[in-house]
Structure 1
Amino acid sequence: MRIAVLREAQQFSLEEVDPPEAGRGQLLVRVVASGVCASELETWIDGPAGGEPRYPGHEVSGVVAAVGLEVTGWAVGERVAVWVTERGFAELVAVDAAYCFPAGDGPLDEALGEPLACAANAVEAADVRLADDVVLIGAGFMGNLVQKLVALRGPRQVVVADARADALERAARLGATRVVDVTRESLPDVVREVTDGRGADITFECTGTQGALTTCGDTTRMSGKIAVVGFHQGPDRVLPLAWWNWMAFTVVNAHFREVPTIMRGMSVGMRLLASGVLSMDGMVSHRFPLERIDDAFATLRDKPEGFVKAVVTFPEP
């Protein structure tokens, strides 16, 4: 089978390797889509550390090709979203059945369970409550997912901020009560206006940038919550900690490494998606075959107008 291997900066190699087999307790899944995640972008740009080959790809959906021993409840041909930690840009993956979830009848290239898990866990950790005033900084793919899940919890206000007109138009279509172009308006001023001077109950930072993180402290009410969803790479971040202390913010680190927590979020996300309660329609904007995987990563880096999410796709069996 073919698999994408990163051996140097900004250039994958497509290599032929022996296909994996479904071991005890595993499913063999023929990959239909594998999402391109911002957490892997820096490695693609700079190249693998120490020259060691890397096998990225962890947002996988596909069709069950074989069922291993001691696996019950799954059959060949079923559509599935799976969690893997690497080797997702390949034609086949072998994965523990416990890490697999029904994908429903929708498009498999939209059944990306791992980012759904991240967003679901973030919203649950922040504990959005009925009639909360919520601010989301960042209207990209993860920000959109968080917005969709926040809406299911019955907020009063959902203010979404970004610098891209197309992203703000999308956030408005998804139901934001107010969108803010941060190149034209002051987000803290808008938040004070729509919350009668009180500030947001919860601010979600979904960009992974210093500026957005700093702004959270100016949009959130005293004793409110700041949820860090963005993946912060590169230089250390600086915070006005004296102000954050005085304001008694609760800081929610919306990143999780414990497998049971990831599985809980993936179960929640995929149940919502497979049942039709949550839609991913329009959330995947760019699709590339495996031969163009470098173009997929370059598109994530460059974020052309209309960009939301890039996936690498394979023919569906």
Structure 2
Amino acid sequence: MRRAVLTGPGRFEIEEVARPAPAPDEVLVRVAACGVCSSELAGFAGDAGDYPRFIGHEVSGTVVEAGPEVTTLGPGDPVGCWVTSHGYAEFVTVKAAWCFPAGGVPLDEALAEPLACAVNAVEETDVRLGDDVVLIGAGFMGNLVQALVGLRGPRQLIVADTRPDALARAATLGATRVVDVRSESLAAVVAEETGGRGADVTFEATGSQGALDVVGETTRMSGKLVLVGFHQGAARRINLAHWNWMAFGIVNAHYRDVDAIMRGMSVGMRLLTAGRLSLAPLVSHRFPLDRVNEAFETARAKPEGFVKAVVTM
């Protein structure tokens, strides 16, 4: 079988290896797609980790073989799953407990692991009916959070970004107001839309210093700040004196506990297979395995219309 190995900064190579065999509690999955996660871009750029590296964790595919202890899945079952490495490959072994039924969802849209991140962020925050919500960042994760918040019934859902195409997409996904922060003050818009009170919840989904600079200016006293963005590179600054005074509740929406990840995947895939959620408008770029380098370059460049890249087999 073929798999991609990151051999150095900006360089994947395709190698031929034997197909793996599942352990007793595992299944062998024929990979349909593996999503390119923003958390992997630093390694691709040479900013993190040693080489060679076998990255890729947002896998979907079809079970072709099950270990003897597996009773929940069998050959032919379509699944979305989380693997810890080697996702950019034609086949991968994964614990059966880390796989969830994909039903009739197109497999290149059955990305269970990023769904889990967004589900856990929204559930941990406990967005309530009638809340005023601000979302800074209308990329892939921001779009997922927006869709899930929409299911919670907010009063206002204000989305901010710097990209006109991203803001247009946020509007089609149901934002009550979009804000281009290059030309408008987000804090002023939120004050106007909430009668000067501020948002009950502000989600930061960019991973940038600029978003951290403004979240405290959009959120009401004792409101919640939710860190969804993946912050890499230089250390960040926050106005802690202001955050203390405002008594903000801080939610770090990054989860390393496997049980929490599995819970989020289960909920996300239930919503996806029931048609309550769709990734169809969000998976914007598809690349075959031999163009994996191009997939990562595109994810870094984010050309107009870009939301999410997947590598397909």
Q: Same fold (TM over 0.5)?
A: yes
Tell me the distance in 1 between the aligned counterparts of 2:70 and 2:7.
35
Tell me the distance in 2 between the aligned counterparts of 1:252 and 1:221.
15
Name the structure 2 match of 1:120: 119
The alignment status of 1:17 with 2:20, answered yes or no, reads no
After superposition, what is the alpha-carbon deviation per residue over 1:16-37, rounded to whole angstroms, capped at 9, x for unaligned?
A: 1111112101110000000000
The alignment status of 1:45 with 2:64, answered yes or no, reads no
After superposition, what is the alpha-carbon deviation per residue over 1:70-124, rounded to whole angstroms, capped at 9, x for unaligned?
A: 1112121110001111110001111111000001202110100000000000001
Tell me the distance in 1 between the aligned counterparts of 2:236 and 2:93.
38
Name the structure 2 match of 1:173: 172
Structure 1 residues 48 and 232: CA distance shift in structure 2, 3 A:
closer
Is the contact between residue 14 and residue 290 of structure 2 (CA under 8 Å) also seen in structure 1?
A: yes
Shift of residue 280, structure 1, vs aligned partner? 1.2
Is the contact between residue 6 and residue 48 of structure 1 (CA under 8 Å) also seen in structure 2?
A: no
DSSP-derived class of the 2:100 partner: strand
Name the structure 2 match of 1:258: 257
- 1:253 is matched by which residue type in structure 2? N
Shift of residue 46, structure 1, vs aligned partner? 1.3
Shift of residue 49, structure 1, vs aligned partner? 3.1
The correspondence of residues 70-85 of structure 1 with structure 2, limited to 5 A, is 70-85=69-84
Shift of residue 67, structure 1, vs aligned partner? 1.1
- 1:252 is matched by which residue type in structure 2? V
Is the contact between residue 8 and residue 47 of structure 1 (CA under 8 Å) also seen in structure 2?
A: no
Q: Mind listing any 5+ residue stretches in structure 1 that lack a counterpart? A: none
- 2:303 is matched by which residue type in structure 1? P
Tell me the distance in 2 between the aligned counterparts of 1:137 and 1:117.
19
Return 18-27 or 263-272, whichever deviates more: 18-27
Is the contact between residue 6 and residue 47 of structure 1 (CA under 8 Å) also seen in structure 2?
A: no
Name the structure 2 match of 1:141: 140
- 2:61 is matched by which residue type in structure 1? G
Tell me the distance in 2 between the aligned counterparts of 1:85 and 1:191.
40
Name the structure 2 match of 1:54: 53
Q: Which stretches of structure 1, 4 residues or more, deviate above 4 A after TM superposition?
A: none
- 1:118 is matched by which residue type in structure 2? C
Name the structure 1 match of 2:268: 269
Is the contact between residue 124 and residue 251 of structure 2 (CA under 8 Å) also seen in structure 1?
A: yes
After superposition, what is the alpha-carbon deviation per residue over 1:114-147, rounded to whole angstroms, capped at 9, x for unaligned?
A: 0000000000111100000000000000000000
- 2:271 is matched by which residue type in structure 1? L
The alignment status of 1:31 with 2:31, answered yes or no, reads yes
Tell me the distance in 1 between the aligned counterparts of 2:47 and 2:61.
28
Tell me the distance in 2 between the aligned counterparts of 1:98 and 1:49.
28
- 2:214 is matched by which residue type in structure 1? T
Shift of residue 226, structure 1, vs aligned partner? 0.2
Is the contact between residue 159 and residue 177 of structure 1 (CA under 8 Å) also seen in structure 2?
A: yes
Tell me the distance in 1 between the aligned counterparts of 2:305 and 2:82.
27
Report how many aligned residue pairs link the two structures: 313
After superposition, what is the alpha-carbon deviation per residue over 1:16-67, rounded to whole angstroms, capped at 9, x for unaligned?
A: 11111121011100000000000000110116634x3100000000001101
Tell me the distance in 1 between the aligned counterparts of 2:47 and 2:130.
46
Is the contact between residue 214 and residue 239 of structure 1 (CA under 8 Å) also seen in structure 2?
A: yes
Tell me the distance in 2 between the aligned counterparts of 1:48 and 1:159.
34
Is the contact between residue 7 and residue 47 of structure 1 (CA under 8 Å) also seen in structure 2?
A: no
The correspondence of residues 241-256 of structure 1 with structure 2, limited to 5 A, is 241-256=240-255
Superposition RMSD in Å: 0.8
Structure 1 residues 180 and 47: CA distance shift in structure 2, 3 A:
closer
Query: Percent identity of the aligned residues?
Result: 65
After superposition, what is the alpha-carbon deviation per residue over 1:193-213, rounded to whole angstroms, capped at 9, x for unaligned?
A: 000000000000000000001
Is the contact between residue 22 and residue 67 of structure 1 (CA under 8 Å) also seen in structure 2?
A: yes
Q: Mind listing any 5+ residue stretches in structure 2 that lack a counterpart? A: none
- 2:103 is matched by which residue type in structure 1? G
Tell me the distance in 2 between the aligned counterparts of 1:73 and 1:116.
22
Tell me the distance in 2 between the aligned counterparts of 1:46 and 1:23.
33
- 1:131 is matched by which residue type in structure 2? G
Tell me the distance in 2 between the aligned counterparts of 1:2 and 1:14.
6
